[in-house]
Amino acid sequence: MEILYKSTRGNGETVTASQAILQGLSPDGGLFVPTEIPQLKKSLKELSLLSYQELAYQVMSSFLTDFTEEELKECIGKAYDSKFDTEEIAPLTEKDGVYFLELFHGATIAFKDMALSILPHLMTVSARKNHEHREIVILTATSGDTGKAAMAGFADVPGTRIIVFYPKNGVSPIQEKQMVTQKGSNTYVVGITGNFDDAQTAVKRMFHDQKLGAELAEAGFLFSSANSINIGRLVPQIVYYVYAYASLLRKGNIQEGEKIQVVVPTGNFGNILAAYYAKQMGLPIERFICASNDNKVLYDFFSTGVYDRNREFILTSSPSMDILISSNLERLIYRIAGEDSSRCKELMEALSSQGRYEITPDMKEQLKDFYGNYASEAETAETIARVFKETGYMLDPHTAVAATVYGKFKAQTGDSLLAVIASTASPYKFTRSVMSALGDQYNDMTDFELVDKLNQLTGTAVPKAIEEIRTASVLHDRVVSAEEMPAAVKEILGI
């Protein structure tokens, strides 16, 4: 069965998977969605016997139907290899009465590696399939993790360049050091004097700028995206939810068909949308628990049916979730609007012009599988300290937000189903936040002194990604305003 892709704001025109990956964003400003969600091709029992790589093929081949078996298996083999520090790729750890799905064992110790280690390979195959000879320019805004993971994936990949924009004062010191020390003759990092939403809005504007697009084309370049607006980012994320269920089944923690809860800390909504797609494929998920930090725009949306970004932007200890415009929510809105692209477009234009939109009661009724809540900064720190004290397991702040929200969900519902929490980053990426949660005695230490203290307290190995940046030289120091981003891109590309 061939799966094609259409825009959430389009007139029903379709493109192949490889064309959708290559374009990143639809020309009409919408996001590409599959014409239908395929069903899992094997039983859950059969899937439980597969390795991560084998299971990735099962899931991804259902969506990427214009890739040959050889092409897709080669992409998967290049992505999920020794870059990951565990053969399992995404192991489950049982602590504090829940299962933490550790998605941080890749090259940059954050969950973005799960998709961004394969996207460059999917993209270069897509270019070849579509006879695209222009150089692909990956344009990405990051709230901390996507940028580094994308650069690590695309560094020195022939036929590509990558330009990453990040909020200069809106990421952790370790996140920033990881980005500004990135090697690769085709990688560029630019700080902006604004927040993530400013960067993301400017990137989207550049994608829609026909004059800029024409200038690029004339110079032999083509824009594409590594953000989760690219379907080539989203499809690989579906895999690890299926793998988590398969692992629980293999280990006898659940019976085949038994339902689980999935808890996801999210700002841009891509990571939880992947779980939603997994359920549509046939994975037995009872509920999606959507965890927000103090930027609780998603919590308010699930509570009221009103999405409103007209509010203060708060910098928190979980910066990858410091987002007020959740781009991937558009894919869910399109679905609950009955795949009515004109309705979806109307709502997205209202968000752009007025900063808010409201869904109908009928649409809100279709969100009953979702539960939203948020964790304050104090609650997040308390959870980090409590879980470490009780179990010796250290959570990063994003995972702690999810654990806090799951606690609230259990207290409100009395629910006892087995829960999987998406653990999205290594605590080593946020040493200052996790150590300050344990007490004031660590406040005067440098970031790398904190790394060593964390290593001493937990007995876990310092990840290679951290060791590499201890003495690495800063290679990228450009800072611009959001308005200057198009000029910076042209300068970098020599246009």
Whether the Cβ atoms of residue 294 and residue 266 lie closer than 8 Å to each other: no
Rg of the chain over all Cα atoms, to the nearest angstrom: 21
Phi and psi torsions of 250, nearest 5°: -60, -40
* CA atoms of 288 and 422, how far apart (whole Å): 11
Q: Given the DSSP bridges, would you call strands 419-423 and 98-102 parallel, antiparallel or unpaired?
A: parallel
- Determine whether 45 is an active site residue: no
* CA atoms of 126 and 181, how far apart (whole Å): 29
CA-nearest of 18, 84, 21 to 51 is 84
Q: Which two tokens stand for residue 213?
A: 């697009």
Q: Which two tokens stand for residue 387?
A: 């879980």
* CA atoms of 67 and 89, how far apart (whole Å): 23
Catalytic option among 73, 78, 83, 112:
112
What residues are labeled active site? Answer: 112
